[in-house]
Amino acid sequence: AGFDAQYPIDLDHHVDLKTDGGVSAARVLEALRAELPFTLRAESEAGKTRKPHPDLVNAIVPPFTMKPSTTREVLNAVLAVLPTGWQATALPGRIIMYRENREYSAGVVIGRS
């Protein structure tokens, strides 16, 4: 009945990311955040830091061939280059990407690495 129920996030929201060459998953997620009308959170480095998780820094996403892409396509491209154990989940009002294998009662798993 609240705002998030009335205006759910759109995984097929079109984004136009500029990627001429391979870039880190962390940079792709940063660029994606700037394009989205909702929140995207990703696991950070251990401790209370805002630095991206090393897996996100070290994984290189190849250039995108489809422009514009959808949010879902970009997230799946990132998941494809991450080590096993990562999951992207759509929750009311936001998307999260963490190292986990978990089902949320109010969420939908977008994909896993």
- What pLDDT was estimated at residue 67? 63
Does residue 51 carry a pLDDT above 90? yes
Which of residues 8 and 40 earns the better pLDDT score? 40
Per-residue pLDDT of 76-98, as tens digits, reads 999 999 999 999 999 998 999 99
User: For the residues of 48-96, what is the DSSP string, one character each?
Assistant: S--SBPHHHHH-EEPPPSSSSEEHHHHHHHHHHHSPTTEEEEEETTEEE
> Could you give the CA distance from residue 79 to residue 97 in angstroms, rounded to a whole number?
9
**How does residue 20 score in pLDDT terms, banded at 50, 70 and 90?**
low
> Could you give the CA distance from residue 52 to residue 58 in angstroms, rounded to a whole number?
10
Q: What is the pTM (predicted TM-score) of this model?
A: 0.88
